[in-house]
Amino acid sequence: MDQLLNAPEGFRSGHIVVLGRPNTGKSTLFNALVGERLSIATDKPQTTRKSILGIFTTEKAQMMFLDTPGLLDPAYRLHELMRNEIDTALEGADIILCLADASDLDRTFDSEVIKAVSGHAIPVVVALNKCDLVPEEQAASSLDRILDLASPRHVLAVSALAGTDVIKLRERLEETLPLGPRFYPEDVLTEQPERFFCEELIREEIFNRLRQELPYAIAVQVESFDEDRKKIYIKANVIVERNSQKGIVIGKGGRTLRDIGKNARGRIEKFLQHPVYLDLHVKVIQNWRKKDTALRNLGYG
Ligand SMILES: Nc1nc2c(ncn2[C@@H]2O[C@H](COP(=O)(O)OP(=O)(O)OP(=O)(O)O)[C@@H](O)[C@H]2O)c(=O)[nH]1
Ligand SMILES: [Mg+2]
């Protein structure tokens, strides 16, 4: 953000922080609002670990969306760092876009979420997501309850997955932004480097493929990214916490790792719009989720 770019009078801009409990559909909605699949989304809670910037620019406004990890009570150091990501994002927020899950309102719009969105001087917009999963009357009474509990500036029912009322929500956010300059050229979508997205696409593949606790014990680190070849050469390590997990990730005869690599390569090629050679390895770093140095080396915190 070196220079502010020319913008017409009346232009609006600002940071919109997407906040909510794990698995409420924040990343799915973030992608729909930005119009690009920048953030990985899976059916498992705690998919997002770092906040991700996604920029949507119109003639009238520049919306800088920040996807964040799910709000949870930290159980180990990685969780604390995830919590810090939310707090840091909130420090620079112009609007809080809070997500509740229409099919699980009590859990996703509980006292802690209400506390997290209360007491800010900035507007709060609540989106009741996953409305495709509940009858219309239920969604309507949930909207009333949200208004009763937290009196946000706006409350809207949406379905991020089906795309229902996502544009309406984006228009509402646009109107709610403060007047401000254009911070980024209009073709800029994000700030994170390509490596980061490669790591995330591999991690998404692992989340989708592996069961139970294993996805949570995994991190992905791109060790080298060489564009000076016919195919982009990417060497990436899948980090696990214990030797026994290494065997599961590799699978019988290396099959699981091969399948993860094959699918991830396809996704990365689509993302980079270029052929890729993906060199995937599995590495053990004992208890990396609990150790500051390991977490730092893996890009967390
Ligand atoms: N039926 C339905 N499912 C949805 C909707 N939005 C998201 N989902 C699903 O909900 C699950 C979680 O979505 P994510 O976008 O990863 O949720 P998240 O809030 O980012 O989750 P964390 O990053 O783990 O906090 C995925 O399986 C999505 O496909 C929706 O509007 N309707
Ligand atoms: Mg997410």
pLDDT along the chain (301 residues), means of 10: 74 98 98 97 97 97 98 97 97 97 98 93 97 98 96 96 98 97 95 96 96 94 95 98 96 96 97 97 98 96 84
What pLDDT score was predicted for residue 2? Answer: 47
Determine the residue of 161, 164, 200, 208 to mutate for testing ligand 1's pocket, defined as the one with the most ligand atoms within 8 A of the Cβ atom.
161
Q: How many Å is the maximal CA-CA distance in the chain?
A: 63
Give the Å distance between the CA of 231 and the centre of ligand 2.
30
Cβ partners under 8 Å of residue 140, min gap 6: 157
pLDDT, tens only, 90-128: 999 999 999 999 999 999 999 999 999 998 999 999 999
Ligand 1 contact via 160 beta carbon (within 6 Å): yes
Ligand 1 contact via 26 beta carbon (within 6 Å): yes
The rounded Cα 280 to chain-centroid distance in angstroms is: 24
Ligand 1 contact via 142 beta carbon (within 6 Å): no
Which residue has its alpha carbon closest to ligand 1 atom 11? 43
Give the Å distance between the CA of 124 and the centre of ligand 1.
21
Cβ partners under 8 Å of residue 266, min gap 6: none
What pLDDT score was predicted for residue 6? Answer: 79
Domains of the chain (ranges, CATH numbers): 12-176 (3.40.50.300), 194-297 (3.30.300.20)
With beta carbons less than 8 A apart as the criterion, state whether 238 and 283 touch: yes
Dist. CA 293–CA 289, nearest whole Å: 10
What pLDDT score was predicted for residue 267? Answer: 96
